[in-house]
Structure 1
Amino acid sequence: MTATVPEPEPDLGVLTGQLMRALQEELFETLGEQGHPDVRPRHGSVLAFLEPEGVRATDLSARSGQHKQIIGTIVDELVSLNYVRREPDPADRRAKRIVPTGHGLDEIAKARAILAAIEERLEHALGEQRFATFREVFQEVTHLQRGWRQTRNPPA
């Protein structure tokens, strides 16, 4: 008779990946039902960081953590799907701003509402205080992890 070895607890990478996939599944399925069937998770690195007056691609890259070339490819897709358009930047005519169209603004509003409903549901399930603590600690962990290079080789 062999003893069964308990499965190890999932690590932080597994947990965050599972959370991200579950959120994306619900978000994009619901967006599809609400008139946005062409939006995919990769589009979130642009749509999630847009402002109504537009944003430069370099700013989208910095905000999302994606390379500028990837942002450019995603913007091309979103232009062809009528979610964004490129316009001259009033502050620098050589630069372009990525500006949401009416269709894009609708998607952004619906995505924010869907995510707010998910958070509300989770807050209800966990309790207000536990969910607030989770968000606070999750933000702190995310901030700490983003600074991993600074902590990798601390100065002597």
Structure 2
Amino acid sequence: MRSAPAASPPRTWPRYRDNLARHLIAISRDLQSRVSRSLQEDRGYEGLRLSFGPFLSLLWGEGRPLASIASELAISRQACSQLANRIEGAGYLERRTHPQDRRSRLVVLTARGRALVEEGAQIILASECEYEVLVGPSAHRRFTSALAALFRGLGLPAHLDPALAAGARPSVGVLPLIAVRIERELMEATIARDHPGLKMSFGQVLTLIGPEGGRIHEIARLQGVSRQAISAISQELEALGYLQRRPDPRDRRGVVLRLTRRGAALIGDSVAALDELDVSFREILGVRQLDQLKRTARDLSHALHLEEEIFGAADRDPPPPVARRGRRREADRHDIQQLATRLRRQLGSGDAAHLAALLKPRGRKRAT
């Protein structure tokens, strides 16, 4: 029997869609997407996935056993081994015998893998320049300094990745590993609130279900994974009673993933976990630096138009009742807004402005 759909308390959604953890995870996803896209399209690296980034960042120094990487990425050894297999298949790492224990193996970057990480660090620095333009030099400097302090305070491992090297200025390059830790702590805190069946992979779907639900193709695009992967996760969440599929009002052939009552309760428990995370971050950063980090993360996330497809409509007042033709025009405007958001993210602010200039209507010349 399916669980009935339900909405979370009205005050839950504002907190759920506007919080430090969400903004940092979204910025991390944007950063990794930029790196992956540039490495593949501009520099000829093939077979990359967003999930490769945090894994590879842990391998710059010596080789490491998979068990330690799995622990730091908060995934199972099996999932870690599968990820390593994909990266190895793409030619970026190899397995070697452990010099102190002939029975165990280490994963090590290949020459191609080291070049990949080095060029990825260059792209991160270029992305930082754009982030700095969006929020201003002073805010960006405080932002990266707070991230560096948070990285140290969380006890995250520094393995001399070029983007994280000791002595370098604070960098947004630490953000993907911070985001992984945030996701792990939120998941563990939510599991402790009577949600024992949750897995880290579920976060790819649950975090992108808005008040009006979520669409598999949009979630897959935002997460940089296949629709099949998101569909498989959503089926697991349906089996656990957190989600259910409903006809898509914008597409008769599509479906919308909506929260059930149990799913709405999960959102409420996630908000409680967010409050606990804020307390731990305040102990590391102090009130002033934490407030600055929150403010800049929010400003940068909004400037990058992140997750507008999921939560943008929820931030606006609902439109008044209109005739069918008016509803169609409203839906068209919504679709155009979503397209504009995607183009801004894919093209960057400069190319997006150039495209807008090309699309600007031109006056007709009068016949003489």
TM-score, length basis structure 2: 0.34
Report whether the alignment pairs 1:69 with 2:228: yes
Q: Which residues of 2 match residues 27-106 of structure 1 at below 5 A?
A: 27-106=186-265
For the residue of structure 1 that corresponds to 2:235, the secondary structure is helix
Deviation at 1:12, TM superposition (A): 4.9
Alignment counterpart, residue 282 of structure 2, candidates 100, 118, 123:
123
C-alpha distance in 1 between matches for 2:284 and 2:291: 12
Bigger mean CA offset, 99-108 vs 111-120: 111-120
Bigger mean CA offset, 45-54 vs 130-139: 130-139
For the residue of structure 2 that corresponds to 1:35, the secondary structure is coil
Deviation at 1:148, TM superposition (A): 8.5
Q: Sequence identity of aligned pairs in percent?
A: 25
Bigger mean CA offset, 109-118 vs 54-63: 54-63
Q: Deviations over 1:79-116 (max 9, x none)?
A: 12211111111333211000111111111221122023
Q: Deviations over 1:8-52 (max 9, x none)?
A: 429754x33432333233222222211111111211111111124
C-alpha distance in 1 between matches for 2:249 and 2:347: 36
Corresponding letter in the other structure for 2:207: A
For the residue of structure 1 that corresponds to 2:252, the secondary structure is strand
C-alpha distance in 2 between matches for 1:44 and 1:70: 13
CA contact (8 A) 1:45 1:66 kept: no
CA contact (8 A) 1:52 1:105 kept: no
Aligned to 1:110: 269
Aligned to 2:181: 22
Corresponding letter in the other structure for 2:182: L
Aligned to 1:4: none
Bigger mean CA offset, 35-44 vs 113-122: 113-122
For the residue of structure 2 that corresponds to 1:53, the secondary structure is coil
- Which segments of 5 or more consecutive residues in structure 2 lack a partner in the other structure? 1-159, 305-343, 355-368
Corresponding letter in the other structure for 1:20: A
C-alpha distance in 1 between matches for 2:180 and 2:221: 23
Corresponding letter in the other structure for 1:118: L
For the residue of structure 1 that corresponds to 2:212, the secondary structure is coil
Deviation at 1:75, TM superposition (A): 0.9
Corresponding letter in the other structure for 1:104: G
Bigger mean CA offset, 25-34 vs 94-103: 25-34
Deviation at 1:61, TM superposition (A): 2.6
Deviation at 1:65, TM superposition (A): 3.9
Corresponding letter in the other structure for 1:89: D
C-alpha distance in 2 between matches for 1:92 and 1:18: 37
For the residue of structure 1 that corresponds to 2:267, the secondary structure is helix
CA contact (8 A) 1:46 1:71 kept: yes
Deviation at 1:66, TM superposition (A): 3.5
User: Higher Cα Rg: structure 1 or 2?
Assistant: 2
Change (3 A) 1:148 1:124: farther
- Larger relative contact order (C-alpha < 8 A, sep ≥ 6)? 2
C-alpha distance in 2 between matches for 1:112 and 1:49: 14
TM-score, length basis structure 1: 0.72
